[in-house]
Structure 1
């Protein structure tokens, strides 16, 4: 038989469907790859072409030479593909044929979008808690989550009394969140599961998983009275120390000797202790004189400081002598915050066992700027925040004012602490200062530290700017 007669008698496309259906989720714009995998694919892309070819049965019996898209309207719900195949029909007789396959796009909601659409439907939950009287830790933790993108897989985020709740559609995402929290703050976690349904025919069960993550209830600038056994194990450091930083471990320092040490999360949970005094108990002092003693440790220097309470001005002339680690920061005439141990009454068994005669009257913590606080009403930078939902119990007016005050203290810490500021993303804001002259030594945030607050929907992005440059180059060539 000649070639034309063979083509009329034999159809090598027999067994290959000329019409097929593919499932598309319009919410997340993904296509279903059987049996249960959803993939992202643009129109006329290689990913979509591979997905369409996998849907065709019988292609393994022929040799695929070429495959390409035939243009259709984007809203036509049709995807047309032109295929070129070869097949050996007789001995040393190979036929090649070109034909068209039409794919019908059918809408189907994926499992992830179904869970998002159905309220209060989640697979795993992470409850983050810290038992402290302020929210500054969670403000800082929120910025770390935003910087590292740890919230991308969350279905919902809600606020609770002492923390946040993160909801996930998959258990692995919740475990990943717990690992992230353990890498940035000292924590301990517990897990539990609840049986939802069981299929006796296939021996499969459906569970909901809950992870409780507790953050160490010690924050930066807190006064700590260590248990005697723990203090001796840390190089025989003094029991009365300050917490200088909270990271993967607690960093502490003795302000009288500049002796520093670290307390890991495992060591803390073996011998749990609470803060003796928090930042809300700080008292403001006025610095009269500073005498450096010589020993330095990093950014700290030991010095004898003569201070007086700012609240005693005009009442008495009481002066306190304190040994502090802020010798290279303080100058006569500055204002400093510290803990007043003379007028404080602590309910702590470890503190009661200490020698009161060797205890200082004042422990200085950090420098403050009262003049700046009264004058500055706006900032030229801003922070992003998570899309959180309020819990079942709405905060009262007093609690809302307390949260706003804690947020203001967190912003002040960012301005005054460059190391803390380097771990978060700061963005350029639309507001500026009110024209008042700040103090000369106040640490300002440089413009180089701020990022542009841009998103994909802000108009001209990288792609549009690049296209604009290409258009300008084409115009220059046409003029030449």
Structure 2
């Protein structure tokens, strides 16, 4: 049967026409091929056209070993990890100009493994260009970058003189504990806001962050304003002045003061503040602190969010803080209303009969109080609360509230669990911090260790706080050590933990696999 003729259909006498693709001979080698505008086969086109001609095969990149950043000409430094998408973008920017001049497009790029100590970065590019009237040709092109070590400006200043800083952020909070700074430390680590600091120093009542650039310090201040109610003041001091070039060098200081109201603080509102907040209180609990303060009336479950600017108008203080919590035992509980959810947290009004743990065996003093923890407490549980019955208060607003209103003897704050020695399958990262002589005192070290342990317990009890920070798996944890943990003590689910990876581990894995490549597609 001749090509292009009809073929008989199976099982019938009809013929179905078929279509065959015609072929032509290559004008160079005479091989049969499908027709194209060049009338040449792919092998002959590649032999006569090199689309990579003029594209550099060698280039250089400048790397700062102290801060692991790469120079983006003329003066920008960008931080990038080994074989990361950020590093790929930095390297490809060095080739944009020659590729655009030659009208060559980049379809794909990937890293080729090289020894970390060789100071070589190898890329394999997939280039595409149109040749011979709408004939598109693709070709692989290797490029090798030589890494030159050089300190960036900030690291050079730090190496020459560690005290040669340009801007400092003085973070302070006038409270008797450091819970706020422990939480902010984890936020800074998660978002990398303190990574550009030359050094971090502990100071009485707060932390000091030293930077080599004013913009880096201003970025930290802006971040703090989004996560905490802060008040910022700025100042600058003239260091030097070049009269010929009219250049002034200053040292900038950012004084950041955090609102002295913390989570779990008990606050007595003055009559004027209570009226301005819609009749809230007069006794309220601080349940959350972000860029606004969340105040809860534990007797009515009303919540009001107070912004920092509004707080500075009233400027009230905490009547009792978490350091003054007293442990109670719940004798009986009677629910008053169904459970409700406010701002993602659950509450339920109930009447609870409680007694101080310290009174057992001494007297029969019991209190029947209204609480917002009806969904958590059961008879026999322990709870922490503020003892208004026996507290010695030095607060005018609290005295006014006691005279005008019938306040409860106890304000329960949270459920308590037995404190016992335990091990944890998770851990937290810490900022490298310089301690002064005051903070190195024996009593201060023990106090800080107790506050850190209390902070870890808060993370186990409160999932809302854990959601904001990163918890890492502890590689030294052993399952047989978990026997010290009671069934009634909250623990962190394994699903919330992330792997603690380090650069050294990644390098060892790369060295173990031969020909290991990480492909990064360029759109």
Question: Does TM, normalized by the shorter one, top 0.5?
Answer: yes
After superposition, the Cα gap between the structure-2 partners of 1:24 and 1:414, relative to the gap in structure 1 and judged at 3 Å, is closer
Specify the SS of the correspondent of 2:349: strand
After superposition, the Cα gap between the structure-2 partners of 1:443 and 1:235, relative to the gap in structure 1 and judged at 3 Å, is same
Shift of 1:263: 1.1
Match of 1:361 in 2: 409
Match of 2:491 in 1: 444
Q: Tell me how far apart the structure 2 counterparts of residues 324 and 75 of structure 1 sit (CA, whole Å).
A: 63
Specify the SS of the correspondent of 2:300: coil
The correspondence for 2:364, drawn from 305, 311, 317, is 317
After superposition, the Cα gap between the structure-2 partners of 1:257 and 1:465, relative to the gap in structure 1 and judged at 3 Å, is farther
Match of 2:170 in 1: 127
The correspondence for 1:213, drawn from 256, 261, 270, is 256
Q: Tell me how far apart the structure 1 counterparts of residues 262 and 195 of structure 2 sit (CA, whole Å).
A: 27
Q: Tell me how far apart the structure 1 counterparts of residues 408 and 189 of structure 2 sit (CA, whole Å).
A: 41
After superposition, the C-alpha distances for 1:310-363 in whole angstroms (9 at most, x for unaligned) are: 111111111111100001110000000111111112111111212346011111
Match of 2:477 in 1: 431
The correspondence for 1:136, drawn from 179, 183, 186, is 179
Question: Paired residues, what number?
Answer: 413
After superposition, the C-alpha distances for 1:272-321 in whole angstroms (9 at most, x for unaligned) are: 11111111101111100000011543110000000011111111111111
After superposition, the C-alpha distances for 1:231-282 in whole angstroms (9 at most, x for unaligned) are: 2111211121111111111111111111111111111111111111111101
Match of 1:246 in 2: 289
Q: Tell me how far apart the structure 2 counterparts of residues 336 and 105 of structure 1 sit (CA, whole Å).
A: 60
Shift of 1:113: 2.1
Q: Tell me how far apart the structure 1 counterparts of residues 333 and 89 of structure 2 sit (CA, whole Å).
A: 71
The correspondence for 2:153, drawn from 111, 114, 117, is 111
After superposition, the Cα gap between the structure-2 partners of 1:465 and 1:272, relative to the gap in structure 1 and judged at 3 Å, is farther
Match of 1:303 in 2: 350
Specify the SS of the correspondent of 1:342: coil
Shift of 1:49: 9.7
Q: Tell me how far apart the structure 1 counterparts of residues 313 and 151 of structure 2 sit (CA, whole Å).
A: 49
Higher relative contact order (CA 8 A, sep 6+): 2
After superposition, where does 1:365-404 map in structure 2 within 5 Å?
A: 365-370=413-418, 373-374=419-420, 376-404=421-449
Q: Tell me how far apart the structure 1 counterparts of residues 149 and 325 of structure 2 sit (CA, whole Å).
A: 61
* Alignment gaps of 5+ in structure 2: 1-59, 83-87, 105-115, 121-145, 519-523
Q: Tell me how far apart the structure 2 counterparts of residues 341 and 421 of structure 1 sit (CA, whole Å).
A: 31
- Are the equivalent residues in 1 in contact too, given 2:167–2:211 (CA < 8 A)? yes
- Single out whichever of 125-134 and 144-153 deviates more from structure 2: 144-153
- Single out whichever of 195-204 and 321-330 deviates more from structure 2: 195-204
After superposition, the Cα gap between the structure-2 partners of 1:330 and 1:456, relative to the gap in structure 1 and judged at 3 Å, is same
After superposition, the Cα gap between the structure-2 partners of 1:326 and 1:30, relative to the gap in structure 1 and judged at 3 Å, is closer
After superposition, the Cα gap between the structure-2 partners of 1:204 and 1:416, relative to the gap in structure 1 and judged at 3 Å, is same
- Are the equivalent residues in 2 in contact too, given 1:289–1:331 (CA < 8 A)? yes
Q: Tell me how far apart the structure 1 counterparts of residues 448 and 384 of structure 2 sit (CA, whole Å).
A: 21
- Are the equivalent residues in 2 in contact too, given 1:258–1:297 (CA < 8 A)? no
Whether 1:281 aligns to 2:281 is: no
Task: Give the alignment's Cα RMSD to 1 decimal.
Answer: 3.7
Match of 1:5 in 2: none
- Single out whichever of 147-156 and 331-340 deviates more from structure 2: 147-156
What TM-score do the two structures reach when normalised by structure 2?
0.71
- Are the equivalent residues in 2 in contact too, given 1:24–1:106 (CA < 8 A)? yes
Specify the SS of the correspondent of 2:337: strand
Match of 2:44 in 1: none
Shift of 1:215: 0.6
Shift of 1:25: 6.0
Q: Tell me how far apart the structure 1 counterparts of residues 484 and 69 of structure 2 sit (CA, whole Å).
A: 55
What TM-score do the two structures reach when normalised by structure 1?
0.77
Match of 1:418 in 2: 463
Match of 1:85 in 2: none
Whether 1:334 aligns to 2:381 is: yes
Match of 1:343 in 2: 390
After superposition, the Cα gap between the structure-2 partners of 1:305 and 1:194, relative to the gap in structure 1 and judged at 3 Å, is same
Specify the SS of the correspondent of 2:451: helix
After superposition, the Cα gap between the structure-2 partners of 1:300 and 1:465, relative to the gap in structure 1 and judged at 3 Å, is farther
After superposition, the C-alpha distances for 1:165-215 in whole angstroms (9 at most, x for unaligned) are: 111111111111001001011111000000001111122100010001111
The correspondence for 1:167, drawn from 204, 207, 210, is 210
Match of 1:81 in 2: none
After superposition, the C-alpha distances for 1:364-407 in whole angstroms (9 at most, x for unaligned) are: 1100012xx22x32211111111111135443111111111111
- Are the equivalent residues in 1 in contact too, given 2:199–2:211 (CA < 8 A)? yes
Q: Tell me how far apart the structure 1 counterparts of residues 283 and 117 of structure 2 sit (CA, whole Å).
A: 71
Match of 1:237 in 2: 280
Q: Tell me how far apart the structure 1 counterparts of residues 329 and 78 of structure 2 sit (CA, whole Å).
A: 64
- Are the equivalent residues in 1 in contact too, given 2:292–2:305 (CA < 8 A)? yes
- Are the equivalent residues in 1 in contact too, given 2:169–2:254 (CA < 8 A)? yes
Specify the SS of the correspondent of 2:402: coil
